[in-house]
């Protein structure tokens, strides 16, 4: 299974990552939650977007993402948190981030997923050019 981190778009298969994650869910887990971030056609400033390019200081971003995964997993007592952020050029509607969480119940999985999503948006060294 791929470690959480930043990957070039052409080296990451979203469906393979989800499938691999599901194959490795602990038998004691009863909940899995996921988030897929897509490129939207309007920026946060209301400007039309045709495509975006994501660049990264990979070493920093990957270590930050792994730290987020560990901290969120511990805080919410979930079995696994994985964040995969992609780099490269993306058109509208293309996925650029995948967050996966598994745990004993939805009561801890959902808040863990929300925190993981909020933190990946702020903390890693990822740069978006529209």
Tell me: the pLDDT tens digits for 52-68?
999 999 999 999 999 99
> Please, what is the angle between helix 58-76 and helix 106-122, to 10°?
160
61: which residues sit within 8 A by CB, 6+ positions away? 5, 6, 85, 124, 125, 126
**The pTM of the whole model exceeds 0.85:** yes
Mean pLDDT, residues 104-122 taken together: 97
């Amino acid at each position: 299974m791929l470690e959480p981190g930043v990957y070039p778009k052409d080296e990451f298969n979203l469906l393979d990552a989800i499938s691999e994650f599901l194959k490795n869910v602990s038998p004691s887990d009863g909940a899995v939650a996921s988030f897929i971030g897509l490129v939207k056609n309007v920026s946060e400033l209301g400007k039309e977007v045709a495509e975006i390019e994501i660049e990264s200081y990979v070493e920093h971003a990957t270590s930050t993402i792994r730290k987020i995964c560990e901290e969120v997993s511990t805080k919410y007592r979930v079995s696994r948190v994985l964040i995969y952020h992609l780099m490269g050029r993306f058109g509208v509607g293309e996925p650029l981030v995948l967050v996966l969480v598994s745990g004993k119940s939805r009561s801890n999985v959902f808040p863990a997923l929300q925190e993981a999503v909020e933190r990946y948006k702020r903390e890693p060294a990822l740069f978006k050019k529209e």
